[in-house]
């Protein structure tokens, strides 16, 4: 087999396994085997860059920044849909159809996925372009972002037209949405409001690697330009499915309107069983020939109709408002409700967001309120039934003092939330910061959980996270529910955490707006806590992805003498406050590659070169074997190494070749 054939074979295999995993949810090989194949492909692509392909499965990780999205005129206009809200609307619609179409009309019924629409163009069976809907006539080219989504096939199986468009909806399934919000909350950031806006916002992210991290999916619903391969909408959905697109199985073919009504009723009741949000169903005339006869109005096809569900609402009584204090001191008002059934669960609490929201709704204690449930983690109050309000109900007075420590609350210019400024003594802030410090993505301290933290704080054994490192067995053993074994585990976990790399420590400090990625960027750039502490506002905003707001937050954190004292204590306990150079990855370009470095180099020292290899995911090995991916050779490569690599057929790259392949600037 030639190299090109080998590369193609692995790519096809990976496309197929990717489809089995992400579209069918039926993997045929283990994750490990998949990774091995992917590594092998990366190896081949690195060694033979002449076979590069933008649709290679290795490109799913994203890469490259887009500064402005190019505007593209749609090859076929993207229409919107007419809406209907009742059976009568549909009966009237059918009457209009029957004036144009003489024979019996059947319908395809589909779910109306609630996300952002996208048009994908395939040329020669390969994804060539992805464009947002925009105003329907032209949209933005977001191909790089779409390529990262595993449920979008980069290449499809024949037969296919030379060129065609396929339309779908980019959605964010609920579980993924909730996971993303958990992370945001842990970073002290505002949670995303709903899956739909988050999905459409994701399409416009400038860094496709960020898009790759989001669990987005693409649901397809229409092919434009495949009349030769399908006669009906239903068949074209099956065709799309055969090509490897994700087309949910819930669609049906309805021969009469009453079958359409059954479909609507079923999904109105069962929409919450789906792992993603829908806001209705779409009914389409099935025959493509009929569709052609019916044509379009200036806005929408005459042959399709959206049926919109009522948002699911319940009415119940607002009993009282409680106020939560987060780890950053932000206050969140929560409505406590008389329990009510909504979308299959019992709802007792709803979000009220902030003081402005309460004022806007003018919601009062004892009011009958409308509660709605979308993709949010907790439901929200959308209105008040004023007819039921008693005449003497007073307005809600927003709290002025912290419910936990009674400090006077503050509200910063331009921010929605009130804050408790008593950072050092307000119990939920103390506990919240320590919980964040020990959490899995931060210091990941085994044997220590939220309850234990509360126990330690309430027993006054710790006040801040630095205190963790002075805990002794003698202090812990007398505590309730602390067996000798768990004390040992706890102490061991704390000691082990001292070797967590710098970027994790930085994240663990809990600086507002400094999430995992920001912490990594800061660690990579400043390399040590000391230089980060010294950094000016200008130096901070010069770092990737760091804006004024984050920079200010970092500066204010380190200008607080109490914080500095805690940080200095961490240093004295031996935590990693400097970057271990290799710990900060740049790319996965060399993942799976075993690389030998030999000779003297002109641009870099050997150590710098080795570091660079590790930063791109490669491994530096000392001797050449059949497992060696390639050798980077400088001047005066050792003769025995040269001979061995020739004998084993291991390729040799010059320093320049290597650097240009990994795109490194020196
Ligand atoms: P609207 O935005 O309310 O005018 O509804 C039209 C949009 O619904 C289209 O632009 C699509 O993005 C979206 N949609 C979701 N599911 C479907 C579907 N099964 N068929 C057609 N359009 C759909
Ligand atoms: Zn407080």
Each residue of 151-196: pLDDT tens digit?
999 999 889 999 999 999 999 999 999 899 888 887 777 788 789 9
* Sole residue written with tokens 């209907």: 84
What one-character DSSP code corresponds to residue 71? E
Residue 583: per-residue pLDDT:
45
Q: Which residues neighbour 324 within 8 Å (Cβ) at sequence distance 6 or greater?
A: 331, 332, 334, 428
Compare 412 and 92 and report the one with higher pLDDT.
Answer: 92
Atom index in ligand 1 nearest the CA of residue 168 equals: 12
Residue 584: per-residue pLDDT:
64
pLDDT digits (tens, 9 = 90+) for 553-562: 999 999 999 9
Residue 665: per-residue pLDDT:
56
Å from CA of 459 to ligand 2 middle? 19
Mean pLDDT of the region 469-497: 91
The C-alpha atoms of residue 417 and residue 356 are separated, in whole angstroms, by: 9
Compare 551 and 449 and report the one with higher pLDDT.
Answer: 551
User: Please, which pLDDT band fits residue 60 given cuts at 50, 70 and 90?
Assistant: confident
pLDDT digits (tens, 9 = 90+) for 355-403: 999 999 999 999 999 998 765 567 889 899 998 998 889 999 999 999 9
pLDDT digits (tens, 9 = 90+) for 312-349: 788 999 999 999 998 889 999 999 999 998 876 789 99
Residue 582: per-residue pLDDT:
52
- Taking the CA of 421 as reference, the closest ligand is 2
Using DSSP's 3-state secondary structure scheme, residue 339 falls into strand
Catalytic residue positions? 112
User: Among 176-185, 271-280, 574-583, whose mean pLDDT is lowest?
Assistant: 574-583
In order of 37, 446, 449, 451, the CA distances from 490 in angstroms are: 40, 7, 10, 13
Q: What is the mean pLDDT of the chain?
A: 90
**Any atom of ligand 1 within 6 Å of the Cβ of 110:** yes
Cα Dmax for the chain: 96
Angle value at C-alpha 145, between 11 and 246, nearest 5 degrees: 65
**Any atom of ligand 1 within 6 Å of the Cβ of 237:** no
**Any atom of ligand 1 within 6 Å of the Cβ of 218:** no
Percent of the chain with pLDDT over 90: 61
Atom index in ligand 1 nearest the CA of residue 117 equals: 12
Contact (CB, 8 A) for 199 and 216: yes
**Any atom of ligand 1 within 6 Å of the Cβ of 169:** yes
Percent of the chain with pLDDT over 70: 98
What one-character DSSP code corresponds to residue 190? P
Q: How many residues appear in the chain?
A: 666
The C-alpha atoms of residue 285 and residue 222 are separated, in whole angstroms, by: 12
Using DSSP's 3-state secondary structure scheme, residue 147 falls into helix
528 - beta bridge partners? Answer: 578
Phi, psi at 402, each rounded to 5°: -60, 130
Residue 432: per-residue pLDDT:
93
Mean pLDDT of the region 445-453: 88
**Residue 57 C-alpha from the chain's centroid:** 19
Q: Please give the model's pTM, rounded to 2 decimal places.
A: 0.63
Mean pLDDT of the region 630-651: 84
Mean pLDDT of the region 23-27: 83
The C-alpha atoms of residue 461 and residue 456 are separated, in whole angstroms, by: 5
* Sole residue written with tokens 């950031």: 189
Atom index in ligand 1 nearest the CA of residue 306 equals: 5
Mean pLDDT of the region 195-217: 92
User: Among 165-179, 355-369, 450-464, 580-594, whose mean pLDDT is lowest?
Assistant: 580-594
């Amino acid at each position: 087999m030639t190299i090109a054939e080998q590369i193609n074979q692995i790519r096809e295999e990976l496309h197929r396994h990717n489809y089995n995993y992400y579209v069918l949810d039926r993997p045929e090989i283990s994750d490990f085997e998949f990774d091995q194949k992917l590594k092998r492909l990366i190896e081949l692509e690195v060694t033979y860059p002449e076979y590069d392909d933008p649709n290679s499965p290795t490109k799913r990780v994203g890469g490259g920044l887009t500064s402005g999205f190019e505007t593209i005129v749609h090859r076929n206009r993207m229409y919107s849909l007419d809406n209907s809200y009742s059976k009568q609307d549909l009966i009237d619609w059918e009457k209009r159809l029957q004036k144009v179409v003489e024979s019996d009309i059947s319908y395809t019924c589909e779910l109306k996925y609630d996300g952002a629409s996208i048009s994908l163009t395939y040329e020669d069976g390969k994804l060539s372009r992805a464009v947002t809907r925009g105003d329907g006539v032209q949209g933005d080219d977001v191909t790089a972002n779409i390529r990262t989504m595993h449920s979008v096939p980069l290449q499809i199986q024949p037969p296919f037209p030379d060129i065609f468009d396929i339309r779908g909806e980019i959605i964010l399934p609920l579980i993924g949405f909730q996971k993303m919000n958990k992370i945001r909350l842990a970073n002290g950031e505002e949670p995303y409001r709903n899956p739909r806006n988050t999905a459409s916002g994701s399409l416009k992210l400038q860094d496709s690697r960020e898009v790759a991290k989001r669990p987005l999916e693409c649901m397809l619903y229409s092919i434009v330009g495949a009349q030769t391969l399908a006669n009906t909408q239903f068949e074209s959905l099956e065709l799309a499915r055969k090509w490897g697109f994700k087309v949910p199985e819930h669609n049906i073919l309805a021969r009469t309107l009453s079958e359409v009504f059954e479909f609507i009723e079923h999904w109105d009741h069962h929409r919450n069983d789906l792992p993603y949000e829908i806001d209705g169903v779409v009914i389409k005339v099935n025959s493509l020939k009929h569709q052609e006869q019916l044509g379009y109005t200036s806005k929408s096809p005459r042959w399709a109709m959206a049926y919109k569900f009522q948002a699911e609402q319940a009415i119940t009584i607002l009993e009282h408002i409680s106020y939560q204090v987060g780890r950053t001191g932000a206050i969140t008002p929560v409505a406590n409700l008389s329990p009510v059934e909504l979308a299959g669960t019992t709802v007792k609490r709803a979000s009220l967001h902030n003081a402005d929201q309460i004022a806007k709704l003018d919601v009062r204690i004892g009011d009958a309120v409308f509660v709605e449930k979308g993709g949010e983690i907790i439901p929200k109050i959308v209105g008040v039934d004023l007819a039921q309000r008693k005449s003497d109900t007073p307005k809600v007075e927003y709290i002025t003092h912290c419910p936990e420590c009674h400090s006077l609350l503050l509200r910063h210019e331009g921010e929605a939330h009130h804050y408790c400024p008593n950072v050092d003594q307000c119990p939920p802030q103390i506990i919240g910061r320590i919980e964040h410090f020990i959490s899995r993505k931060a210091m990941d301290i085994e044997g220590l959980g939220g309850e234990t933290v509360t126990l330690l704080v309430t027993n006054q054994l710790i006040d801040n996270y630095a205190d963790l490192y002075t805990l002794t067995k003698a202090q812990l053993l007398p505590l309730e529910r602390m067996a000798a074994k768990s004390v040992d585990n706890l102490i061991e976990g704390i000691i082990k955490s001292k070797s967590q790399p710098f970027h994790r420590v930085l994240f663990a400090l809990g600086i507002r707006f400094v999430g995992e990625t920001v912490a990594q960027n800061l660690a990579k750039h400043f390399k040590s806590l000391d230089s980060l502490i010294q950094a000016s506002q200008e130096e901070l905003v010069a770092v990737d992805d760091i804006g004024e707001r984050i920079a200010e937050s970092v500066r204010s954190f380190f200008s607080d003498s109490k914080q500095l004292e805690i940080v200095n204590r961490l240093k004295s306990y031996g935590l990693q406050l400097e970057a271990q150079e290799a710990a900060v990855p740049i790319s996965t370009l060399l993942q799976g590659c075993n690389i030998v470095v030999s000779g003297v180099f002109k641009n870099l020292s050997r150590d710098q070169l080795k570091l660079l290899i590790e930063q791109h995911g490669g491994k530096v090995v000392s001797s050449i074997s059949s497992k060696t991916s390639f050798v980077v050779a400088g001047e005066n490569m050792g003769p025995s190494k040269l001979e061995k690599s020739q004998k084993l057929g291991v390729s040799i790259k010059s320093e320049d070749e290597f650097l240009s392949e990994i795109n490194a600037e020196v």
